[in-house]
Amino acid sequence: MSEDGQEKIPPPIQRQMTAAPDAAMHLLLHVKETGPAQRAAIVSAGFEVRHQTSIVPCYAVSGPGRGLQALTNEAWLVKVEEDGAVETM
């Protein structure tokens, strides 16, 4: 993975994708902009797009960790974080 890619993916997610590259991961891909090219690259990397937002450009995806490495050098990918439940007060 490139130096740039390492900055986009937090160490816990990097460890998870290295330890179990075929395990399903639920991730949020923060992007510079959403569009057909980004969606096609995400699907091509083996992910299912579960949700897409435009106000805050982001894709909620599920798929094998090994696919994430294919996206790390994409200029439109800003950062990756684990998708999960959000609690409010």
Confidence of residue 5 (pLDDT cuts 50, 70, 90): low
Cβ-in-10-Å burial (0-12, 13-18, 19+) of 69 comes to: middle
Output the furthest CA–CA distance in the chain (Å, rounded). Answer: 39
Share of the chain above pLDDT 90, in %: 74
Q: Which residues contact 16 (CB under 8 A, 6 or more apart)?
A: 23, 25, 65
pLDDT in the model for residue 7: 86
Q: Among residues 74, 47, 45, which one has the least CA distance to residue 59?
A: 47
Domains recognised in the chain with CATH numbers: 3-82 (3.30.70.80)
The predicted model gives 2-21 an average pLDDT of: 83
**Residue 45's pLDDT band (cuts 50, 70, 90):** very high
